[in-house]
Amino acid sequence: MVAPPRRLLVTAGLAIGLAVTAARDARAHHTEEQRLTDDTAYTLQKSTVRLGLFKQQWGPWDRITFGTYAVPWVVGFANAHVKWRYFGGDPLSLSASLGLSRFAPKAVKESVGSAELGIVPLELGASYRFDERLTLSGACCIRSSRSRGATTRRRSMASPR
């Protein structure tokens, strides 16, 4: 296994330190103004930023949210997504989300080879809010994936040449 580069560890440490010192109260209860965005059709409000251990999101406008997942970046899996809430009435909201993920590990190229993987998910979502305590959400997701390159196959010591 290849050790992660020192720069990556320093950057991750600084990011975690900044997130911890700049964090506000965390609340699990979501209101009509601050709705849950994971697996729903809802987006962040204008000029809102959410920084979590696993997911970071930014809402530059009321109906658009940009985001990324942090953990895949650690292993070289670059990713980003955008969600557009094209109908935001109450009680029904509809959204479309597009993501992009790419795995091309330069740090571990010797052990896995020149393989690259790309994934593009497109998701259409709907959320229906029955009342302040109950929301039903569903989505249809289409994923396109592409791989290229070759993996390195290591021979064991016992195999003949």
- Report the distance separating Cα 58 and Cα 69, nearest Å: 12
7 in the Ramachandran plot: left (φ > 0), alpha (ψ -120 to 50) or beta?
alpha
Per-residue pLDDT tens listing for the chain (161 residues) = 455 577 888 888 888 888 777 766 655 566 667 777 888 999 999 999 988 888 999 999 999 999 999 888 887 788 999 999 999 888 999 999 999 998 876 655 666 667 788 899 999 999 999 988 888 999 999 999 988 877 665 554 455 55
Q: What is the pLDDT of residue 67?
A: 96
